[in-house]
Amino acid sequence: MTTKSDNITWHGANVGPDERQSLTGQRGCVLWFTGLSGSGKSTISRRVEELLLRRGHFCYGLDGDNVRFGLNKDLGFSAEDRAENVRRVGQVAKLFADSTAITTAAFISPSRSGRDAVRSHMPPGTFLEVFVDTPIEVCEARDPKGLYAKARAGEIANFTGISAPYEAPLAAEIVLKTAEHDIDACAEQVISHLVDNGFLNRTLDKG
């Protein structure tokens, strides 16, 4: 996407990426949690954030509902607005990751192309797609917000999984099976991936 302003310049920091990573003891990345409503995206991402913070790591979570109170309050749920929602959050997540934050983002983000677009703007290897792979019948049985019932009653249009499509990841870095494993097990699976792939300095771990 091109900008509407010509008189802007990207300003780099005085501390480069390698030195920043050395000072904070971690590599920044974006953990992009995607899945159906009720799959457990927000719950797991919040638990990952909590565990990392309590173990002495720099982490911040971006939640799908929370950003619509401010940054994206002008957007609805049309296909176009949802795509713009993902684009904006992707840009914010990139800035957080540049700061070396382990950044969690929990969004249905139903389109592969939308998620791939976010990945394309990130440094190679720093966008980690986390597929919360929960069968729709399990999501619907949970129905924490009563949304599936409303969608089936025709009260909510363009509802992912019912009246709008969801394109599951084809090669996610992390796949979580919440119908088989509890929240803590899923969170630890994510953290283990970060450790195994060099995003966290083991010496900082206080857990």
Q: How far apart are CA 5 and CA 133, in angstroms?
A: 41
Residue 49 falls within a domain, yes or no? Answer: yes
Cα–Cα distance list, 157 to 111, 147, 161, 162 (Å): 17, 11, 11, 9
Q: Is 109 an active-site residue?
A: yes
Q: How far apart are CA 88 and CA 114, in angstroms?
A: 11
- Provide the pLDDT for residue 113: 93
DSSP state letter for 123: P
- Provide the pLDDT for residue 195: 92
The catalytic position among 37, 42, 109, 111 is 109
- Provide the pLDDT for residue 186: 97
Tens-of-pLDDT digits for all 207 residues of the chain?
555 667 767 677 777 777 777 777 788 999 999 999 999 999 999 999 999 999 999 999 998 788 888 888 898 888 888 889 889 999 999 999 988 999 999 999 999 999 999 999 999 999 999 999 999 999 999 887 889 989 998 998 888 989 889 999 999 999 999 999 999 999 999 999 999 998 987 544 444
Residue 92 falls within a domain, yes or no? Answer: yes
- Provide the pLDDT for residue 10: 65
Residue 12 falls within a domain, yes or no? Answer: no
Q: pTM to 2 decimals? A: 0.86
- Provide the pLDDT for residue 204: 44
- Provide the pLDDT for residue 14: 77
- Provide the pLDDT for residue 78: 82
- Provide the pLDDT for residue 2: 57
- Provide the pLDDT for residue 16: 73
- Provide the pLDDT for residue 3: 58
**The domain containing residue 190 runs over which residues?**
25-201
- Provide the pLDDT for residue 157: 87
Residue 145 falls within a domain, yes or no? Answer: yes
Sign of the dihedral through C-alpha 76, 79, 81, 82: positive
Sign of the dihedral through C-alpha 169, 191, 194, 82: positive
Residue 18 falls within a domain, yes or no? Answer: no
Domains held by the chain: number: 1
Residue 13 falls within a domain, yes or no? Answer: no
Q: Are 42 and 64 in contact (CB under 8 A)?
A: yes
Long-range Cβ contacts of 77-83 (<8 Å, 24+ apart): 77/157, 77/158, 78/158, 79/158, 79/164, 82/109, 82/110, 82/111, 82/114, 83/111, 83/114
Q: How far is CA 112 from the centre of its chain?
A: 14
Please write down the HEC assignment for all residues of 52-67.
HHHCCCCEEEEECCHH
Residue 2 falls within a domain, yes or no? Answer: no
Cα–Cα distance list, 99 to 86, 144, 188 (Å): 20, 34, 23
Cα–Cα distance list, 15 to 97, 188, 200 (Å): 15, 31, 19
Q: CATH number of the domain that 66 lies in?
A: 3.40.50.300
- Provide the pLDDT for residue 177: 97
Residue 20 falls within a domain, yes or no? Answer: no
H or E stretch covering 32? strand 29-34
